[in-house]
Structure 1
Amino acid sequence: MTVPFVVPETGVPSGGTLYDLRLSRASSVLETVAVPGPWPSPGPEGARALAAVLDGLPDGAPVVVDGLVACGVPEIVVPRAERLRPVVLVHLPLADETGLSPETARELDLRERAVLRSGAAVVATGGYAARRLREHHGLPRVEVVPPGVDPAPLARGRGFEEGRVVEGAVPRLLCVASLTPRKGHTVLFEALRGLSDLGWECVCAGPGTPLPNAGERVRFVGPLAGAALEAAYDGADLVVLPSLMETYGMVVTEALARGLPVVASRVGGIPEALGRSRDGSVPGLTVPPGDPAALASALRAWLTDPGLRRELRASARSRRSTLTGWAHAARTLEGVLERI
């Protein structure tokens, strides 16, 4: 049996699109069907494409639909949910996106609630997201399918050796995130301006327009994939994720898979992704979201304290051995499909 997996057609890489791609590749039953947007409010072409996919399925058929596609169009999904068994996969509640007007957020929230309550199952990509969806939308149950992570070699870094600064080297911070307000780049750049007395450089990888006033030691390299992304991680000493909201934070586990410690916002699912190593230690530092002073303090501690660097590096390498792969995530979702 194959199950359609309806995803947004997009050429812009993001955590959500990567999740969909890797999950589909790891699954023996999912068959990806991409539909054109823009989502979550599609034009006529996207609406017709989604309706055609659902109308082409026999009565009682299961179908997995990315929430970005499904949750904004209850007029398409809800009537068809009466004869199908839709599973809606939510990466981020629609109203949680930053930059929305209150009226738009309320409208998207109502639309999402109608879709989620009509489905056979709702799947979230982490425990935090599942709790939020269940409580906010009054859902009896939300399944959890956390992202997997691909095995990767230990990052070699460039600035430190056994916690000590390598002579002539400059420690490199890496931020892998789309250049959108929710990712908190402006918070990071303000924090870095307070560290001008220390040696460091920062590489920002992700789609979007480079931000002004980032500083001369910040370099924007655009979206990276494949060998280029691997090289970026390999050359990093620390991964920084200053997001204002994350339902999980796949960048965190991608860093840990390479033994890289993380400094990130203590928000949403980031603490869940960061987790704990086998000895109970946390493989990074967390700070309140939107707080440049707290972020600067955490980065200064990491840049100046060799003992802290050694502890976090050891913890990250230990946490690396506890991560699960995409095959495990695919089996978890397939279990949901079996139950419905």
Structure 2
Amino acid sequence: MKRVVFAVPGSLDTPTGGYAYDRRIVAELRQLGWDVECLNVGEGFPSPDKATQSAARSLLLKVPDGQPIVVDGLALGVLPDVAGEVASRHPLLGLVHHPLALEWGLSAERADALHRSEQAALALAREVVVTSPATAKLVASDYGVPAERITVARPGSDPAPRSSGSRNEVPHLLSVGAVVPRKGFEVLVAALATLVELPWRLTIVGDLTRDPNEAARLQASISQHKLTGRIAALGAVPSKRLAGLYDEADLFVLASHFEGYGMAYAEALSHGLPVIGTTAGAIPDTVPQEAGLLVAPGDAGELAGALRRVIADAELRRRLSDAASAAARTLPTWQQSAAIFATALEKLA
């Protein structure tokens, strides 16, 4: 049986798209006959303290020599020295969801340090898996990884019933993403604050504990704009509840400043929802023009204009919804994604 160690920072149950990707790839690799050992290398990444870094090093170096190791980029990118030790004893595969330096809200100094650290770590990986063609281009052009060492394994998509919608005259907007600066919730609230004369309500679903300061800023912005009765930030919810919210939604909106893929956008397509998003990162790879309106990231005025068009025009929503359902049928399955991931693992030999 083919064996691999899959190293992740923290619990695989963490409610983010990156961890969801890792969970499903691990599960599907096992279905393909791989013996996958999951290794938790500690909490606090990508800003681990010295004790966490030391513990991660010890855990990785305890893996029997020669065994292939996948290290999630959230950890790998800040462990270049450890990566060097691991790569000298193991075939190493780096998994990049999105480059760490492109997290929104970082100081120029911090972003530069993360870029240099991740570039050094990726140089030591024998193979690199990324989740979109856009990220593949970035990793090649900005991080110097040769194209022949990069494999694109997009996230898979599960079949989902087409959303029923709110069935009333108040369109239900849904936004899904951890409440962190990169997801652009402050831009979304500012845009909606200019559309108070239109009928709409917004539900935000996403972890409120990842960045407590950002969660507090979101609630303050909602209150400042007097939108408390129209915007609900629920935090992370169980999958059954999220499925119900997708079914009740008329429109998906997420104003991300950057996405290495954007699994929530793909999930919205699978439910046949019109999408309003941004042109940042890999989002245009996921959302075709016919299925949504994409605007410049960080532009609240342009976002408000797109929202106004779709909220006010039920026929436009119907056309976008039909195109979203069609686009969903072209998305890869998780089985297909895992098969591509497995080819990268086999190249390690």
TM-score by length of 1: 0.92
1:127 counterpart residue number: 133
User: Aligned to 1:65, which of 61, 71, 89?
Assistant: 71
CA deviation after TM superposition for structure 1 residue 83, in Å: 2.1
Asked if 1:339 corresponds to 2:339, the answer is no
Report the more deviating stretch, 141-150 or 263-272: 141-150
User: How big is the shift at 1:326?
Assistant: 1.1
1:301 counterpart SS class? helix
- Which deviations, in whole Å up to 9, do the C-alpha atoms of 1:231-277 show, x marking residues without a partner? 111111111010111111100110111111110011110011113xx
SS at match of 1:27: helix
Match of 1:108 among 106, 110, 114: 114
Is contact 2:80-2:120 (8 Å) kept?
yes
1:67-94 alpha-carbon deviations (Å, 9 max, x no partner): 1111101121112212211100011211
1:89 — aligned with what?
A: 95
Query: Which has the larger share of helix?
Result: 2
Question: 2:154, 2:332 within 8 Å by CA — same for their partners in 1?
Answer: no
Question: Which amino acid counterpart does residue 246 of structure 1 have in structure 2?
Answer: E
Displacement after TM superposition at 1:12 (Å): 4.0
2:142 maps to which residue? Answer: 136
Per the alignment, residue 265 of structure 2 pairs with 252
1:216-227 matches, cutoff 5 A? 216=228, 217-227=230-240
SS in 2 for 1:311: helix
More moved, 64-73 vs 35-44: 35-44
Q: Secondary structure of the equivalent of 1:2?
A: strand
* Equivalent residues of 2:3, 2:68 under 8 A apart: no
In the alignment, is the contact (CA less than 8 A) between 1:157 and 1:237 conserved in 2?
yes
SS in 2 for 1:87: strand
- Offset, 1:195: 0.9
Q: Which runs of 4+ in 1 moved over 6 A?
A: none
> Structure 1 residue aligned with 2:320, among 287, 301, 312?
312
CA distance in 2, matches of 1:182, 1:206: 13
**Distance of 1:232 and 1:307 partners within structure 2:** 22
Partners of 1:119 and 1:259 lie apart in 2 by: 38
Mapped partners of 1:48, 1:150: distance in 2: 38
1:179 and 1:185 in contact (8 A); partners too: yes
- In structure 2, the partner of 1:196 is 196
For residues 194 and 44 of structure 1, the distance between their equivalents in structure 2, rounded to whole angstroms, comes to 46
Question: Paired residues, what number?
Answer: 327
| Distance across 2 between alignment mates of 1:105 and 1:304 | 40
Q: Is the 8 A contact 1:37 1:46 kept in 2?
A: yes
1:50 maps to: 56
Question: Residue in 2 aligned with 1:37?
Answer: 43
1:291 corresponds in structure 2 to 299
In structure 1, runs of 5+ residues without a counterpart are 160-165, 276-280
1:186-207 per-residue CA deviation (whole Å, 9 max, x = no partner) reads 1111110111111000001111
Q: CA deviation at 1:56?
A: 2.4
- Partner AA of 2:19 in structure 1: T
Q: Does 1:238 align with 2:246?
A: no
Give the Cα separation in 2 of the matches to 1:138 and 1:44: 28
Matched, 1:327 2:335: yes
C-alpha distance in 2, partners of 1:154/1:260? 8
Q: Is the 8 A contact 1:36 1:45 kept in 2?
A: no
- Report the counterpart of residue 5 of structure 2 in structure 1: 4
Distance 1:46 1:19 in 2: 24
Instruction: Determine the C-alpha separation between the residues in 2 that align with 1:327 and 1:45.
Output: 37
Give distance in 1, aligned partners of 2:53 and 2:221.
40
SS in 2 for 1:26: helix
Residue in 2 that maps onto 1:278: none
> What is the CA–CA distance in structure 2 between the aligned matches of 1:256 and 1:106, rounded to whole Å?
35
Structure 2 portions without partners, runs of 5+: 209-214
Q: Secondary structure at the match of 1:117?
A: helix
Deviation at 1:339, TM superposition (A): 1.5
Letter of the 1:49 partner, please give it. Answer: A
Tell me the secondary structure at the aligned position of residue 47 of structure 2: coil
Whether contact under 8 Å (2:9, 2:75) holds in the other structure is yes
* 1:12/1:207 contact within 8 Å kept: no
The one-letter code matched in structure 2 to 1:299 is L
AA partner of residue 300 (structure 2): P
Deviation at 1:44, TM superposition (A): 4.1
Work out the CA distance in 2 between the residues paired with 1:203 and 1:197. 18
User: How many Å apart are 1:330 and its aligned residue?
Assistant: 0.9
Distance (Å, rounded) in 2 between the aligned partners of 1:323 and 1:108 = 32
Corresponding residue of 1:303 = 311
Please give the TM-score of this superposition, normalised by the length of structure 2: 0.90
2:212 corresponds in structure 1 to: none
For the aligned residue pairs, the C-alpha RMSD in angstroms reads 1.5
Shift of 1:6: 0.4
Preserved contact between residue 239 and residue 262 of structure 1 (Cα < 8 Å): yes
| Paired residues of 1:261 and 1:312 also in contact (CA < 8 A) | yes
CA distance in 1 between partners of 2:254 and 2:294 (Å): 10
Q: 1:183 to 1:339 in 2, by over 3 A?
A: same
Q: CA deviation at 1:46?
A: 2.7
